[in-house]
Amino acid sequence: MKPSLVVGKIMQLISASLPNRCLMCHQSIALPARGLCHVCLDSGLYHQPICQGCGCAMQVQCIFCGRCLLKQPIAVIAPCSYHQGLGEWIGLIKYQAQFAALPVLSQALVNRVCELESLGLLRLPQVLVPVPLHINRQRKRGFNQAWLIADSIYQQLNIPIAVQGLERVLDTESQAGLTGQQRRMNLSGAFRLADSFPYQRIALIDDVVTTGTTVNEIATMFKKLNIHVQVWCLARAEAPGLLD
């Protein structure tokens, strides 16, 4: 047996021997569900129409609210708000390598995508593009959370992941605590996109979208190649900053 398979088998045995409890309410969860129980997950998900631009609640599901319709910001698809219960568990994925909630949240994202597609409010992309980490950051963290999410979406929707084309060439400071303008300056030139990219419609994949600075920086490069960009993430903020 290959070493990687042995490690995988050991991890399976360890996780099978641990109690399978909800991260939020600590109630037991019946396998194969993991991470979050149905009740806690459901309490954090959107249950009303949400504007794909600013994330505000709307009366009728359409792509943009009236304000965003004028500005046509990048569409951001998420199953929940970053500020209503589930954001904390998404932070655990990135900062503590606590992956328990990742499958169930990825599934919630896919459900949201499929719902919007069935309503004619979203066109599926040809390829998924995970937001890249700088190689130094990735080595330190050991993984790129955007890749893990993209892989989970690929398993469910069979949309391939672009493995080449976009890279992060600057190891920038953390964006936390910066103003909008400082964020844009901090990220300026941080990414590089190949001169040609063989797709017309992509979905950028990230764990969360708060101010939208990162995804807008990347989307600008794709738009110069006339490539349509939408963003799929596990949670989003209600961000007026997306509009500026």
Cis omega (within 30 of 0) for bond into 32: yes
> Which residues face 206 on adjacent strands?
233
Judged by CB, which is closer to Zn ion: 106, or 144?
Answer: 106
Judged by CB, which is closer to Zn ion: 38, or 137?
Answer: 38
CB of 149 to Zn ion, least distance (A): 21
Helix 145-157 × helix 87-96 angle, to 10°: 120
Which residues ranging from 43 to 72 are in contact with Zn ion (CB under 5 A)? 51, 53-54, 65, 68
Question: Is 37 an interacting residue with respect to Zn ion (CB under 5 A)?
Answer: yes
Helices marked H in 166-230: 180-187, 213-224
Burial class of residue 94 in the structure, from the number of CB atoms within 10 Å of its CB (0-12 exposed, 13-18 middle, 19+ buried):
middle
Question: Is 127 an interacting residue with respect to Zn ion (CB under 5 A)?
Answer: no
Judged by CB, which is closer to Zn ion: 54, or 131?
Answer: 54
d(CA 124, CA 92): 29
Judged by CB, which is closer to Zn ion: 74, or 203?
Answer: 74
CB of 237 to Zn ion, least distance (A): 13
Question: Is 22 an interacting residue with respect to Zn ion (CB under 5 A)?
Answer: yes
Question: Is 231 an interacting residue with respect to Zn ion (CB under 5 A)?
Answer: no
CB of 31 to Zn ion, least distance (A): 15
Judged by CB, which is closer to Zn ion: 104, or 146?
Answer: 104
Question: Is 25 an interacting residue with respect to Zn ion (CB under 5 A)?
Answer: yes
Question: Is 163 an interacting residue with respect to Zn ion (CB under 5 A)?
Answer: no
Burial string for 10-37 (b: 16+ CB within 10 Å, else e) reads: eeeeeeeeeebebbbeeeebeeeebbbb
Given candidates 34, 35, 40, 227, which one binds Zn ion under the rule CB under 5 A? 40
Question: Is 146 an interacting residue with respect to Zn ion (CB under 5 A)?
Answer: no
d(CA 136, CA 61): 41
Question: Is 24 an interacting residue with respect to Zn ion (CB under 5 A)?
Answer: yes
CB of 203 to Zn ion, least distance (A): 19
CA distances from 157 to 122, 142, 152 (A): 14, 26, 9
How far from the centroid of its chain's Cα atoms is residue 168's Cα?
A: 17
Which chain residues interact with Zn ion by CB under 5 A? 22, 24-25, 37, 40, 51, 53-54, 65, 68
